[in-house]
Every structure is written in C-alpha cells, then in structure tokens.
Amino acid sequence: MSSRAFSPADLSAARSWPFQEARALVKRLERMKAPADRPVVFETGYGPSGPPHIGTFGEVARTTMVRRAFEALTGRPSRLVCFSDDMDGMRKVPPHLPNQALLEKHLQMPLTSVPDPFDAEHSSFAHHNNAMLRKFLDQFGFEYEFLSATECYRSGKFDETLIRVLERYDAVMEIILPTLGEERRATYSPILPISPSSGRVLYVPMLEIDPKAGEVLFEDEDGTKVKTPVTGGRAKLQWKADWAGRWFALGVDYEMAGEDLTESVRLSSRIVRALGGEPPAGFNYQLFLDENGKKISKTKGNGITIEEWLAYASPESLSLYMFHNPKAAKKLYFDVIPKVADEYLTWLQKYPSQEGAAALDNPVWHIHEGDPPTDISPVSFALLLNLVNATGTGDPEILRGFVAKYRPNASPEALAAAEKLIGYAARYYEDFVKPKKLYRAPSEQERAALAALSARLKEIGEGAEEEVYHTAAFDAGKANGFEKNIRDWFKGLYEVLFGQPEGPRMGPFVRIYGTANTAKLIDEALAR
RNA sequence: GGGCCCGUAGCUCAGCGGUAGAGCAACUGACUUUUAAUCAGUAGGUCGAUGGUUCGAUCCCAUCCGGGCUCACCA
C-alpha cells in the first residue's frame, strides 16, 4: 500500500463529512468509556425481500467512508457488519417474481423458510437474495462481514438480548405503544414467536411473559396455548424493537439510515437505552430525487438504477456521487453521470499535489479508502463522448487510436486507465448516439467530391502522414466546387458519412481508421 | 398541521464569526488549412427572505418562503 501518512494536525483539520461523522463517533466512544482495543462496529441493514440497489451501494459506500476516516483518525480496529433481516416474515408475495403460487403458500414464514422461487441453487428465497447482496458488495471490493438474522437467532447469539427484552418488557412497551394506532396497540408485542405448528411468524399478543425462565405464553394458530422459550430461534423481535435489539446484541457503534427512517432511529434509540445500551452514532442521509425534484419511485421508473449508472460510468464515479452532500436531497438522473465521471477524474488529478487536510478532504481519499490510484486516464469522459460523437463510431480500436494521438506523452499505465472510459464511451455511443444518426444523401456536387476523395485515398494507401490525408480531403472539396465554401464541404461530408453535421478532423481520422476503411465508408455512403 | 433535513455563481459543491471560493458550463482571444482538443484570459452571486445577537454574520438565534422525508398499516 502506498497510501500517504498524515499528521495528527492534518487529521484534526480535515472537515469533510466522513471525518466529522468519525469525530462524533469518537465522542460517543469516549462517553461510553469503550476500551480502546475493542473493535468498533459499523452496521448497515438490508431487507432480503428484493435485490440490492443503488441505495444499498450508497449506504455501504458512505459507511465505509466514515469507517476509514475513523480508522485514520484513531488507529482503532473496526468491523463493518452487513446485516440481513432474513428472519422477517414474508408479508406479501413480491410481484414480478416467478412461482407466485409456491410463494403464496409460504406467506408469513421467515424469508429463510420461503423456498427460492428462482432456482434450486439456494436453500431459500432469503438465501438467494443474501447471495445477491454479497455478490453485489464483493464486486465493489467492500470489506464487510455478512450476518444473517436467522443465524443470529438460531445460534443463540441474540438470546441474551431476547431475555433482556423480556426483563424490560414494560419499559419497551411504554415506548412503543404510543406510536401505534389503536388497533395495533391491542396486539403488539416486541416478541414475535415462530409458530411451532406452522412455522409462521406470529403477530400475536403475549399472554404471559416469564423473564426468569426466558419463556412466553401465546396462542398458536391452531388455537392451542403454547409456552415456549424465546431463545434459539423460537422467537424474533418485531419491527421497532428489532433494530434496537440488534444494536444491543451486536454492540453497534455506528449506523446511518435514510431520512425516511428518522423517526425509527429516534424510537430505536430510546428502546436500546431501555435495554441498557447506548444508541449508535450516525445520521440520516437524504433520498434521491429525479430530474424534476420528484421522489424516485420504482413503479414510476424515474431516476436511474445502479445498472444504468455502471453501464456508462465507473463505480468510483458513483462513489463520488454518494460522497457529495449526503444530507441534501440529490437529483439522480441520467445527465449527471458524465459530469460526475469527469469530476472524479479532476479530483484524482488534483490529489497528488494536495497536502494535509486538503488531501484528506479530497473525495478520492474517501472513495479509495485512503489510497487513490496514481494512473489516471489522460482523457476526460467528456472528450471521449465528443470523440464518439465526432467520429461517429463507438469502435474501441478507433477511440484508442485517437486517445493515443491526442495524448502522445501518456504513459502505458495512463492509457490502460483510459481503457475503461473507452468502454463506457462505446456503450454510450451504441445507446445514445447511434440511434440518433441521420444520414442524408449527397448532392451531385458532394457525390463527385466524395468519389474523388475515395479514389485519392485508395491511391495514397495506408501509412502516409496525417497531413497528406487531410490535404486530400481539402483537395477533393476544392476540386469539386467548394473552394469558396470549404466549410460546407466538410459539413456535407459529415452528414453523409457520419449522419451528423460535425465530425472528426479528416487527416487524423483517415490515418487511424485506415484509407481502405475510409474509402469503403465513402463508397457505401454513395451506394446508399 | 407537528417533527427532521436541505436552500452559497447556470450545474455540482467548499467555506461555518472578520470585507465570497473551486471544478464544470458560458464568453473572449491565441493556435489548429472544418470539428474537437490545447493554451491564455473574462464575466458571473443583495450566500432563499426578513428581523435579531455582535464592532462585524453566508456562518449564531427567531420567524417566514421553497424543496424533500416523516407522523394508520407494512418494512
């Protein structure tokens, strides 16, 4: 690792939000008098009833930023727990899934007891989604520990916490009940037993609770009264109590959440205190909006998905987007992608010349966990998009040639760094530029000039200087009536050959694309 | 309506008590036998509004305006 070292003075001068968050966490640990060698626990939560999405990425990326800032600040060990709420009952069958009938039969069962509707590869629906989550996180190289709620309950990891909830039952109820509607109030219990007869998660009131024995009495689905221990996976905590229980059981020190969960965090904090714990540090980040400032909703399909982002720009650029101002509602729509991609490059270029706190506050320090790469693409994404527009091609080979020409002094490493951008640009071309192309037929005059150019290029052959080709382009125009308006010649040439009024400088283009290919391009256009 | 968050140049953001900054975009010029690129330069903000605290406020407080979330169920 070639990551830079920073002085304590630099570190305390860093003002970017991850450092501010890290300092808040430090204060919390001081208040708690936490032993300095105890690993500090960061958590992110995940609901395994659907695939991971751009918000999942954002939460883990941002949490990791705080984590690394904290480590830099304190040198203390830390862990990041990605927790899957996979013991939650399946309340309804998510539409769009295959095997609806099969799923229907398993309503109210813990998600880890619902069969995988996709294939037999995973032992349950939740296992399938958990695997997707891990694959998703791994592809970005996040460092984390995966934790399954089901395993935590069944293994006894949460036993102590469940008993504690029984011990503090009244205090917990007192906090939760006022937040519920009248109807729910009548049946609410922070403990949800798993029916021994049906395996479903039961939303029933507790008839008796016995903290000493660690048991509860409730009415099972078949009407029989059942007394059961709450431990070993025979019961779980309900919403409003389970988050607090998890904090308590895992000793979570830091967790952020979307602003829609602001009230939940507040409530859970009170509950964890009632259990005798201390709520984690953290903050509520804002949700994303679409181009018009409207909330992004999956059904409306506004905004963009992580797949869309990653099709046209790097994960690092998405991290940069996540880094910016997490407390402001940010617009997330297509046009921001190229802009953010180039902003990322700009920050990367700036980093080596920055010192102290300025470097620590540079987003790339956070995006790359303190160790930004030194090989930087010598061309911006905007330039590549221009190129793609100008050359009318998304052929990576041609783009590569132009990059090498534009940046003759670029190192092989830098050119390698540009490779990814070229791929994104090519994709962009295919999806956005190509469909908009409008080739027009040449005028008689243009036809003659184009034919002359084609013939001349074949004559010259490959390997000549750019200027030779460029001169040929001019000559063909001048010799066919464009001597006074050479601009029109080029405009027409582009419209006929590339389907747009602008195009590449012809000399370099021919040199890179080849005379035979260019001549072929012309001949095909004339034959169209 | 209550609560929370946000509101600084066209855009994305920094600045968090001492006479407003960056990147991109825009514009001008140079260069290039079209485009793009490159280089040099210019312009652009009553820091959402109004009051208050202060010798002094973008920065603190209050109110208001605008945007988002949340306050039945579900997570």
Smallest CA–C1' separation from A292: which nucleotide?
Answer: B67
Strand partners, A236: A192
Instruction: Quickly give A357 CA vs B43 C1' distance in Å.
Output: 31
pLDDT at A296: 66
pLDDT at A346: 84
Instruction: Quickly give A377 CA vs B28 C1' distance in Å.
Output: 30
Length of chain A: 528
**Which residues in 395-434 of chain A line strand B, with CB less than 7 A from it?**
406
Residue A2 counted as domain residue = no
Cβ atoms of A210 and A166 within 8 Å: the answer is yes
User: Does A275 share its domain with A393?
Assistant: no
Which of residues A410, A435, A460 is at a domain's end?
A: A435
Strand B closer than 7 A to residue A259 Cβ: yes
Which of residues A385, A402, A435 is at a domain's end?
A: A435
User: For residue A239, which of A168, A280, A184 has the smallest C-alpha distance?
Assistant: A184
Task: Note the strand B nucleotides within 7 A of protein beta carbons.
Answer: 3-7, 11-16, 23-25, 33-38, 67-75
User: Does A427 share its domain with A441?
Assistant: no
Strand B closer than 7 A to residue A495 Cβ: no
Reading the block at residue A156, the tokens are 């006894």
User: Does A431 share its domain with A302?
Assistant: yes
User: Does A70 share its domain with A168?
Assistant: yes
Instruction: Quickly give A289 CA vs B5 C1' distance in Å.
Output: 14
Residue A221 counted as domain residue = no
Strand B closer than 7 A to residue A59 Cβ: no
Enclosing domain of residue A445 = 437-527
User: Does A379 share its domain with A355?
Assistant: yes
User: Does A475 share its domain with A397?
Assistant: no
- By CB neighbour count within 10 A (0-12 exposed, 13-18 middle, 19+ buried), where does A7 fall? exposed
User: Does A379 share its domain with A258?
Assistant: no
Residue A196 counted as domain residue = no
User: Is A298 labelled as part of a ligand binding site?
Assistant: yes
User: Does A477 share its domain with A378?
Assistant: no
**Which residues in 297-316 of chain A line strand B, with CB less than 7 A from it?**
none
Report the alpha-carbon distance of residue A320 to residue A527 in Å, rounded. 48
Cβ atoms of A405 and A512 within 8 Å: the answer is yes
Residue A198 counted as domain residue = no
pLDDT at A103: 92
Residue A193 counted as domain residue = no
Strand B closer than 7 A to residue A478 Cβ: no
User: Does A268 share its domain with A353?
Assistant: no
Q: What are phi and psi of A2, to 5 degrees?
A: -105, 20
pLDDT at A236: 95
CATH code at A489? 1.10.10.350
Total domains in chain A come to: 3
Which of residues A285, A305, A340 is at a domain's end?
A: A285
pTM: 0.88
User: Does A455 share its domain with A326?
Assistant: no
CATH code at A76? 3.40.50.620
Residue A12 counted as domain residue = yes
Residue A194 counted as domain residue = no
User: Does A246 share its domain with A326?
Assistant: no
Smallest CA–C1' separation from A182: which nucleotide?
Answer: B72
Q: Per residue in A52-70, pLDDT tens?
A: 888 899 999 999 999 999 9
Reading the block at residue A383, the tokens are 């330039």
Residue A369 counted as domain residue = yes
Tell me which residues of chain A have a pLDDT lower than 50: 1
Q: Per residue in A375-391, pLDDT tens?
A: 888 888 877 877 777 66
User: Does A157 share its domain with A47?
Assistant: yes
Q: What are phi and psi of A46, to 5 degrees?
A: -145, 130
Instruction: Quickly give A490 CA vs B30 C1' distance in Å.
Output: 24
